[in-house]
Amino acid sequence: MLTHPTFDQLRALKLTGMLKALQEQEQMPDIGCLGFLERVGLLVDREVAERDSRRLADRLRLAKLKQAACLEDLDFHTPRQLDRSLILKLADCQWVAEHLNILITGPTGIGKSFLACALAQKACRAGYRASYQRMPRLLAELEIAHGDGRYPKLMRQLAKVDVLVLEDWGLETGLGDRQRRDLLEILDDRYGTRSTLVTSQLPVDHWHESIGDSTLADAILDRLVHNAHRIALKGKSKRKREYPALGSDDGAAATGG
């Protein structure tokens, strides 16, 4: 049997995993020891693995996560009140299946973004779709979308993604009425059907005040807070620990700056 036409057909059918596996099998001197079904099984396994890998790469590309973070790289040694048992519980992504939210609060530099991206990355690995959005940029994008006709499409996209990461919640002060209503629409579309992951420097107890309008704040937080896991990180900035000398006179002398 001619092998090259088979290679060409597999390539034409975009069965790249099977093609690679078959080419590798052809180079194995003892491959004849395996039975027909065993060899076919190896080809199919390789194709499935290749497709899973491509789908994961696509999900991560579309998620546009701020950091290439994963839960396996989380630092549990630095004191910041990170509950290992809770993280292990969240690692199975059941919170996504149950459409629950996660609220991560703490001072700047404590590792909120890394943890949020790691949880979103784990969701992508579990087959879910994620999207990373910084709140100031999202609010600005929504404002533009109102004017250029993209608003309905953008809202549909935000509603459908399995895990929506909203970074820097509460950083924007003095929200306008339309911005508050946009937030309410986003969270109302997702409530009970999708999961939202929020990071903020503000404690959750201060979110109501930061939103501004009491009635809309009640409606927004009712759809976000009550079905959420809360992770309140405390401690010193990791950035300051990594660069302790920068910004001081002694540090400038020590570094020759």
- Tell me which residue has tokens 């910084």: 134
pLDDT of residue 255: 33
> pLDDT band at 239, cuts 50/70/90?
low
The pTM is what? 0.79
Instruction: Tell me: pLDDT of 61 over 80.
Output: yes
CA distance 245 to 254: 8
Instruction: Tell me: pLDDT of 91 over 70.
Output: yes
Average pLDDT rounded to a whole number, residues 1-8: 70
Measure Cα distances from 12 to 9, 38, 54, 66, 226 in Å: 5, 24, 17, 36, 52
Task: Answer for the pair 63, 189: CB distance below 8 angstroms, yes or no.
Answer: no
Instruction: Tell me: pLDDT of 133 over 80.
Output: yes
Indicate the DSSP class of residue 7. Answer: H
What is the per-residue pLDDT across 13-24, written as a single tens digit (0 to 9) for each?
A: 888 887 888 888
CA distance 75 to 133: 24
* pLDDT more than 70, % of the chain: 89
Of 139, 106, 131, which is closest to residue 235 (Cα–Cα)?
106
Higher pLDDT residue, 250 or 79? 79
Measure Cα distances from 91 to 43, 102, 103 in Å: 31, 12, 15
Of 204, 207, 241, which is closest to residue 111 (Cα–Cα)?
241
The structural domains of the chain, with segments of one domain joined by +, span 4-62, 64-237
The residues near 212 (Cβ < 8 Å, ≥ 6 apart) are 174, 175, 180
Task: Answer for the pair 66, 113: CB distance below 8 angstroms, yes or no.
Answer: yes
Q: Can you identify the CATH homologous superfamily of domain 64-237?
A: P-loop containing nucleotide triphosphate hydrolases (3.40.50.300)
